[in-house]
């Protein structure tokens, strides 16, 4: 015990630095886990507070989950959530690595900073702001795209009433917003590769493409694996702002834009059923955790050094 206290005292500066983050995680991640009990109750709000509400809410077991999965939209929202996230993971991964490799080949530090700032800017924009920009392009009356189409003799398109275009629009916007942040992570990893590998490759007569293929990409595999595993853990969570704000919650587009998060929000707004919303959130977390563990187990079988845990 004395040794442990002595060790803690020795590293007291690091402990105090980590303490705010630790407290934040306790309050915002661990304590709210106890609220998952709401998913198994017919929640009835009480003015006396949350604990009184729980006490007055009868236990209904898995009825909230049955209601969620017995809905006719269960297959639709699950399909949309999975397919969009798979597209974001695969396309986002390819684009992020591509941009990182391109940045690593630029020799001007000033230009690298300019490109990095330009690529990172969308990441910090709210989906509300992006939604207005998108509407400026796709507005049925005065949108930029319709103006261009009609100027060439075409017929204006009512974009917010045409579901067939939105899978492409949403994927492009989702990748565009996140690729800058992801590319900087891969760029930092590329900058950390030992230059002697490239020198040896040049001595052997390797071209620039061969250096990227046989030196850069293999060195990135552990990082790609870890980030992909973490992405799989969030595959049942959709970006609410993208699917709600950008599409303006248009009912005509629900076939291709309704995901688990927007479905829960719309259901909660219409019915006020907090128990069903909590059940959907718990479902997302449990499935995400299972997928994360499964993906990590597969990676551990293939390459133990690349596994997350």
Q: Residue 198 has which token pair?
A: 């490239």
Model pLDDT, residue 1 = 65
How many Å separate Cα 203 from the centre of its chain? 42
- Torsion angle of alpha carbons 178, 179, 183, 184, nearest 10°? -40
d(CA 130, CA 218): 36
**Closest CA relative to residue 191, chosen from 307, 118, 112:** 112
pLDDT category at 206 given cuts 50, 70, 90 is confident
Q: Model confidence over 9-37: pLDDT tens digits?
A: 777 788 888 888 889 988 888 888 888 88
Model pLDDT, residue 232 = 86
Query: How far apart, in Å, do the first and last CA atoms of the chain sit?
Result: 28
Cα distances (Å, whole numbers) of residue 43 to 33, 55, 63, 280:
16, 9, 12, 14
Q: What's the predicted TM-score (pTM) here?
A: 0.84
Across the strands, what pairs with 59?
41
pLDDT category at 83 given cuts 50, 70, 90 is very high
Which of the two residues, 2 and 75, has the higher pLDDT score?
75
Model pLDDT, residue 205 = 87
């Amino acid at each position: 015990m004395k040794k442990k206290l002595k060790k803690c005292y020795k590293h007291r500066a690091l402990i105090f630095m980590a303490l705010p983050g630790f407290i934040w995680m306790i309050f915002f991640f661990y304590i709210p886990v106890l609220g998952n009990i709401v998913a198994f109750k017919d929640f009835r709000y009480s003015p006396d507070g949350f604990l009184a509400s729980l006490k007055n809410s009868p236990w209904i077991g898995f009825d909230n989950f049955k209601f969620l999965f017995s809905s006719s939209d269960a297959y639709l929202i699950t399909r949309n959530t999975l397919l969009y996230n798979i597209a974001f993971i695969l396309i986002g991964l390819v684009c992020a690595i591509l941009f990182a490799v391109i940045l690593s080949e630029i020799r001007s530090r000033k230009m690298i900073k300019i490109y990095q700032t330009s690529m990172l800017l969308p990441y910090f924009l709210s989906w509300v702001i992006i939604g207005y920009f998108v509407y400026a392009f796709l507005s049925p009356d005065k949108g930029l795209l319709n103006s261009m189409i009609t100027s060439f003799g075409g017929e204006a398109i009512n974009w917010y009433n045409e579901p067939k275009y939105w899978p492409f629009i949403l994927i492009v916007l989702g990748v565009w917003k996140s690729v800058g942040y992801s590319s900087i992570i891969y760029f930092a990893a590329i900058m950390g590769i030992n230059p002697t590998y490239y020198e040896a490759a040049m001595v052997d007569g390797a071209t620039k493409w061969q250096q990227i293929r046989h030196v850069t990409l293999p060195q990135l595999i552990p990082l790609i694996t870890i980030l992909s595993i973490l992405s799989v853990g969030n595959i049942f969570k959709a970006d609410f702002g993208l699917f709600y704000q950008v599409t303006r919650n248009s009912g005509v587009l629900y076939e291709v834009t309704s995901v688990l998060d927007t479905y829960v929000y719309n259901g909660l707004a219409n019915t006020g059923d907090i128990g069903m919303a909590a059940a959907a959130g718990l479902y997302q977390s449990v499935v995400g955790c299972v997928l994360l563990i499964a993906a990590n187990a597969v990676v551990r079988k293939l390459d133990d050094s690349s596994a997350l845990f």
